[in-house]
Amino acid sequence: MSDPTTDDTTDPAEPSLVLEDVRKVYRMGDSDVVALDHATLEVAGDEIVALVGPSGSGKTTLCSIAGGILSPTEGRVVVGGEEISDYSPKQLTTFRQDKVGFVFQAVNLVPFLTARENLLVVDELGRRRGAPARQRADQLLEELGLSARAKNLPGQLSGGERQRVAIGRALMNDPALVLFDEPTSALDTKLGEAVMELIQTEMKSRGIAAIVVTHDERMVHYADRVAHILDGRLRA
């Protein structure tokens, strides 16, 4: 990638994510819910890992911790060489701006912004680089086959197109790791497969690592590796 906006050159040999004995306990009144228990996972610099498990097994919790949205109760979290286990909420916010990308299950674009503006939100909330960010947004939209749709509002886009915009938004900050939480569950099989293929090519061509949460075993072969999770415990 000869991208002018790339400021951190991630060494592909360095793991993009290290989870070490991560435990997450939700306090619910008097009872504790253990959502993750001694989760240990290492994702290589450009690896795509599928995370498969039944509902309530802790997939979203794992993604949230890996992406700096939640802090672990115990354990070590290292993303792109940066240890975030003990970060304050403020440090986590900056970390999310710079280091990770998210694609959510529900399409969560800003409804009154065009496709292109939805990508640029990342820059407005973060470093505000201006022109290079606009250049990058246009480039991403083109790669995602959305150039003709750049000026459309989310409401004027199809489900697949919206998910592609969301992928573009996740890539805007040139992250070390992108977290996909059930990116295809709102799409039909054919569209889902197209989106998975797109995820695969985008990640591979950029050498970015990804965790893709899915219920759907058919999507698994797009990943390099599958991690199974059950009741908060990982089985590789």
Partner 1 sequence: MRIALRELRRRPSRFATATTILALIAVLLLFLGGLLDGLVRDATGALRAQDADLVVYSSTARDSFFRSRITPEERARVEAVDGVEAVGGLGVALLGGRVPGNGPRDLADLAVFGYELPPDGVGDPPAPGEGYADEVLRDDGIEVGTEVLVGPARTPVTVVGFVADTNFSGQGSLWVAADTWRSVQNANRPDATVGPGVFQSLVVQAAGGVDPATLAGAIDDATGGATRTLTLDEAVAALPGVEQQQSVFNQIIGVTVVVAIVVVALFFALLTVERTALYGVLKAIGARSRTLFAGVVTQALLVTVVASAIGTALAVALDLAVPAGAIPFVLTPSRVLASVAVLLLASVLGCAFSLRRVLRIDPAAAIGSAP
Ligand X SMILES: Nc1ncnc2c1ncn2[C@@H]1O[C@H](COP(=O)(O)OP(=O)(O)OP(=O)(O)O)[C@@H](O)[C@H]1O
Sole window of 106-114, 135-143, 218-226, 227-235 interacting with partner 1 (rule: CB under 8 A):
106-114
Residue with tokens 């790339």: 6
Judged by CB under 8 A, does residue 61 bind partner 1? yes
Task: Tell me, letter by letter, the H, E, C secondary structure of 100-125.
Answer: EEEECCCCCCCCCCCHHHHHHHHHHH
**Exposed / middle / buried, residue 139 (Cβ in 10 Å: 0-12, 13-18, 19+):** middle
Do residues 61 and 25 lie in contact, with contact meaning Cβ atoms separated by under 8 Å?
no
Judged by CB under 8 A, does residue 223 bind partner 1? no
User: Measured between alpha carbons, how far is 40 from 143 in angstroms, rounded to an integer?
Assistant: 34
Q: How far is CA 112 from each of CA 39, 107, 108, 160, 161, rounded to the nearest angstrom?
A: 39, 14, 12, 18, 16
70 binding partner (options partner 1, ligand X, Mg ion, none; Cβ < 5 to 8 Å by kind): partner 1
Number of residues lying near ligand X (CB under 6 A): 12
Binding letters toward Mg ion, positions 56-85, x by CB under 5 A: ----x-------------------------
Q: What Rg do the C-alpha atoms of the chain give, in angstroms? A: 17
Consecutive H or E run containing 37: strand 31-43
The single residue among 15, 45, 53, 67 that binds partner 1, judged by CB under 8 A, is: 67
Residues 121-180 that bind partner 1 (CB under 8 A): 121-122, 124-126, 169, 173, 179
Binding letters toward partner 1, positions 178-217, x by CB under 8 A: -x-xx-----------------------------------
33 binding partner (options partner 1, ligand X, Mg ion, none; Cβ < 5 to 8 Å by kind): ligand X
The single residue among 11, 32, 56, 145 that binds ligand X, judged by CB under 6 A, is: 56
Judged by CB under 6 A, does residue 60 bind ligand X? yes
User: Measured between alpha carbons, how far is 137 from 122 in angstroms, rounded to an integer?
Assistant: 10
Applying CB under 6 A, which residues contact ligand X? 26, 28, 33, 35, 53, 55-61
Applying CB under 5 A, which residues contact Mg ion? 60
